[in-house]
Amino acid sequence: MSNTDFALAVEDLTVSFDGFKAIDNLTLYVDKDELRVIIGPNGAGKTTLLDLICGRTQASGGSIKFKNEEMTKLPEYARVRKGIGRKFQTPSIYENLSVFQNLEVSFPRGRSVFGALFFRCDDEVRERIESVAREIGLADHLPSQAGLLSHGQKQWLEIGMLLMQEPQLLMLDEPIAGMSPRERELTADLLRRISRNRSVIVIEHDMDFVAQIAHKVTVMHQGKILAEGPMEKVQRDPKVIDVYLGH
């Protein structure tokens, strides 16, 4: 496979905070339609890596290519337009709006270049809202006030808000934290479904959940990649057991 076939090619990426390298010369490739899980101890640099890919943090060195296009110097909003979506740990939904309205304001055409919202709702937007609502299991909750949803449903709504923009790369930081076992199961199904036609990167600690969803696992430690491969292989790696799984 040539480099141009990867959805995401991160090469020699480095970021320093006051001389401390939170990401240290890291190289990572993610395939089209791949669901990659990143694991590793606290402070390994997992969240920082996603911050760099989405443009929240600027790299000190190296390159981030998305669909073979250099992203490293682009601001965050430009990367969103190129198809990079990022879900943060705390949900950022509009609690006072309905589920329908939350999805509606996330439709890309719903926002002018000046950032003003058009509350336009033609058939195309409505169809997309309904299809995303089915995808995230909230089709029966479209009129509900978002603030009244369960914790898990709020997380799914936020994933839905990202899906409205049809990202080709979706990144999620610890998406099942605080979820019930049933919500975790449904989230695993959801992530498997949405990775059928886009690349997904998930940071997660729960190894049962990782085993359910991961195509490949990347283990990070001290800003570097410690191991990478199928779950079964990574789990048996003595280096991984030593720094992470053994604890």
Residue 148 Cβ vs ligand ADP, minimum distance, rounded to whole Å:
31
Query: What character string, x for contact with ligand ADP (CB under 6 A) and - otherwise, covers 40-69?
Result: x-xxxxxxx---------------------
Describe the strand order of the beta sheet including 224-229 as a list of residue ranges.
84-87, 169-173, 199-203, 35-39, 216-221, 224-229
What DSSP assignment string belongs to 118-179? P----HHHHHHHHHHHHHTT-GGGTTSBGGGS-HHHHHHHHHHHHHTT--SEEEEESTTTT-
Q: Which is nearer to Mg ion, 46 or 154 (CB)?
A: 46
Handedness of CA 76, 113, 115, 102 (dihedral sign): negative
Binders of ligand ADP: how many residues, by CB under 6 A?
Answer: 10
Residue 112 Cβ vs ligand ADP, minimum distance, rounded to whole Å:
32
- Cβ-contact 206, 176 below 8 angstroms: yes
Residue 47 Cβ vs Mg ion, minimum distance, rounded to whole Å:
3
**Of the residues 13, 22, 35, 47, which one makes contact with Mg ion according to CB under 5 A:** 47
Tokens of 37: 């899980």
57 touches Mg ion by CB under 5 A: no
**Of the residues 12, 17, 73, 241, which one makes contact with ligand ADP according to CB under 6 A:** 17
**Residues that bind ligand ADP in the complex, under the rule CB under 6 A:** 17, 22, 40, 42-48
State the residues that interact with Mg ion by CB under 5 A: 46-47
